[in-house]
Amino acid sequence: MTKKYHQDTLSVRAGNAPTELGENSEAIFLNSSFRFESAAQAAARFSGGEPGNIYSRFTNPTVTAFQDKLAALEGAEQCVATASGMSAILACVMGLCASGDHVVASQSIFGTSVQLFTNILKRWGLEVTLVSLTDPDAWHAAITPKTKLFFVETPSNPLTEVCDIQLLADLAHQSGIHLVVDNCFCTPAIQRPLALGADIIIHSATKYIDGQGRCLGGAVLGSKALMEPVYGFLRTAGVTMSAFNAWVFLKGLETLPIRMEAHSRKATALATWLESQPQVARVFYPGLASHPQHALAMRQQNSGGGIVSFEVKTTGSQTEQEAAWALIDATRMISITANLGDAKSTITHPATTTHSRVTKEARLASGVKDSLIRIAVGLEHEDDLKADLAMLSRQ
Ligand SMILES: *Cc1c(COP(=O)(O)O)cnc(C)c1O
């Protein structure tokens, strides 16, 4: 059931495969292995001659239901669920690249993704070039005969820069390269990268797919041919999603479209209000007309999403960091945490948390100033969020 239903319906209905008991809500299969009726059936399952479950590191019915639902939402042939967002990126690269291969990645991807590429995978012979998300010429110039993947996040964290997925996909395909999009910030409820020409999607299910900050999980999606080696790595290396977490994510996906709509609506209200505050120097939100790639973002996405960043002005002899920390510490409700995608709004100082391992020069060059604050807008009423940012409204 992929083509004929709307996204909202797929969120609720896709992937449902009741057992003979006819349960209406998916069951959780918390078993590690599956029994066979005979030695011959065991052999047939292991050889692949007969479909069916063998062992939960390979497949598990609850995880399969999650994979089928997310694949339907992203319009992907296949989904490989993983233990976390980071293991989704690891499985993607381990499945599709070998020592000596080259990856071009946006310099504004999730900090841990940069660490994975530059500190860990580099030791195993992967070459990585980091370039600006919004400079297609830099992507073109970085291509070598060994380039296998382009890797982007759009909108980026925390500055919400947006790249043209179709344009990068065309550029990649001219050289036989696959475009990977980490779609964690938008989810398929807002943006569907495969329909725009991307080849592979990465998810940290930990964020909006869960939606309530409970579980870690991830996913890689794409064509059957591309997912086969990714699944091969997962099945062997064991970075498998747990059945319990898959069940939580299945429940999360059912409400994903209405939650993303609400996150976007509240974020738009907050971003618009922030832009009118005298203490705010600049607001970064793709849904605002002032955003440099606003028109592109509104073509690729059906709304601005839930992440808003802004620069706060200093007063008196305050440093930029002091001004940002003072505002964060004056909040009473919004959670001070680096997580995002939760029903609870979260507030972060990227310079000293998510981006603290980046050198100061590189951080400032990428536009992440000491005065920058990121809010992942949750599901509270926007007036209560504004009131909680009391330092701004008191000015
Ligand atoms: C959180 C995050 C990840 C990593 O996901 P985990 O589930 O924490 O491993 C990857 N990409 C983006 C954009 C993220 O926000």
- pLDDT value at residue 182: 98
The pTM of the full predicted model, rounded to 2 decimals, is: 0.95
User: Residue 1: inside a domain, yes or no?
Assistant: no
Q: Is 153 in the pocket of ligand 1 (CB under 6 A)?
A: yes
The conformational region for residue 215 under phi > 0 = left, psi -120 to 50 = alpha, else beta, is beta
Q: Are residues 208 and 312 in the same domain?
A: no
Q: Which ligand 1 atom is the nearest neighbour of the CA of 341?
A: 15
User: Residue 176: inside a domain, yes or no?
Assistant: yes
- pLDDT value at residue 30: 96
In the reported structure, the alpha carbon of residue 315 is separated from the centroid of ligand 1 by a whole-number distance in angstroms of 35
Pocket test for ligand 1, best of 114, 206, 348 (most atoms within 8 A of CB): 206
Taking the C-alpha atoms of residue 156 and residue 312, their distance in angstroms, rounded to an integer, is: 20
Residues 6+ apart with CB under 8 A from 359: none
- pLDDT value at residue 232: 97
In the reported structure, the alpha carbon of residue 182 is separated from the centroid of ligand 1 by a whole-number distance in angstroms of 9
Residues of the chain with pLDDT under 50: 2, 395
Q: Are residues 312 and 371 in the same domain?
A: yes
The CATH number assigned to the domain holding 237 equals 3.40.640.10
Q: Which ligand 1 atom is the nearest neighbour of the CA of 206?
A: 7
For 157, the token pair is 């964290």
Q: Are residues 280 and 218 in the same domain?
A: no
Pocket test for ligand 1, best of 204, 209, 309 (most atoms within 8 A of CB): 204
Segment (H or E) for 209: none
Among the candidates 220, 235, 254, a domain finishes at 254
Q: Are residues 346 and 371 in the same domain?
A: yes
Q: Is 391 in the pocket of ligand 1 (CB under 6 A)?
A: no
Q: Are residues 25 and 168 in the same domain?
A: yes
- pLDDT value at residue 4: 84
Q: Are residues 216 and 263 in the same domain?
A: no
- pLDDT value at residue 3: 60
- pLDDT value at residue 17: 83
Q: Are residues 210 and 276 in the same domain?
A: no
User: Residue 2: inside a domain, yes or no?
Assistant: no
Q: Are residues 275 and 327 in the same domain?
A: yes
- pLDDT value at residue 16: 86
Q: Are residues 19 and 166 in the same domain?
A: yes
Q: How many domains does the chain have?
A: 2
pLDDT in tens, 67-120: 999 999 999 999 999 999 999 999 999 999 999 999 999 998 988 999 999 999
pLDDT in tens, 8-17: 999 999 998 8
Q: Are residues 212 and 341 in the same domain?
A: no
Give me the domain span that covers residue 274. Answer: 257-393
